Amino acid sequence: MTVEHILIAVPARDEEATLAECLRSIEAARRAIEVPSSVVVVLDSCTDASADIVRGFDGVLAIDRDHGNVGRSRHDAVLTGLAAVEAAPSCTWIAFTDADSSVPRHWLREHLRAARAGDAYVGAVVPRLADLDEARRQAWQLTHPPGATLGHVHGANLGLRAAAYLRVGGFLPLYVGEDVDLVSRLRAARAAIVESEHHPVTTSSRLVGRAPRGYAAYLEGLTT
């Protein structure tokens, strides 16, 4: 089914160091497609300059929340964004990434390709390898040959049709694993899910993250 609008949802919690780069990369990805798009950033419990950074970007809607919960933040981004979109949910695609991540120029093109083939998209995520110490960088490279990321769900590179999102109830208020949980419910609902390693999103290599047992914990444990 045709995609008439793409809603890009970004949760942020004290990400002033990376948020501007994230939003610049999203701007470039939006310019690379002809489909209309919008961006919603959820400033969740931010105490830094994240709000000031978002104000420097035209056409980006920021909403303030005090959840301290990524599942609720992602869900609020979707509800706020959909309320402003004229396209029907069946013709609206939601693309998720994170404020500590940078998307490639053809990121949204890849999401649109997936939308032509299915209801949802599970894309690849790679850490900023240059920021990892040598031992973890080697460990990551050894454990990630081509195809290794397929099947791994990351909120930093996830997409689905709005109708499918609403049908399964959207993100639950989970502190971690909200992305895996959503895809699990999509699979249970027999949604057609496209997986790809093309045009991966680059994400932070920090070893202490915002969510327990998240990607930072995974990177920290690479050498154990």
What one-character DSSP code corresponds to residue 129? G
Q: Give the model confidence (pLDDT) of 158-208 as tens digits.
A: 999 999 999 999 999 999 999 999 999 999 999 999 999 999 999 875 545
Q: Give the model confidence (pLDDT) of 98-107 as tens digits.
A: 999 999 999 9
Helices (H), the chain: 19-31, 50-55, 70-83, 107-117, 134-143, 162-167, 178-188, 215-220
pLDDT for res 40: 98
Q: Give the model confidence (pLDDT) of 44-101 as tens digits.
A: 999 999 999 999 999 999 999 999 999 999 999 999 999 999 999 999 999 999 999 9
pLDDT for res 151: 75
Q: Please name every residue paired with 121 in a beta bridge, in sequence order, or none if there are none.
A: 159, 194
pLDDT for res 221: 57
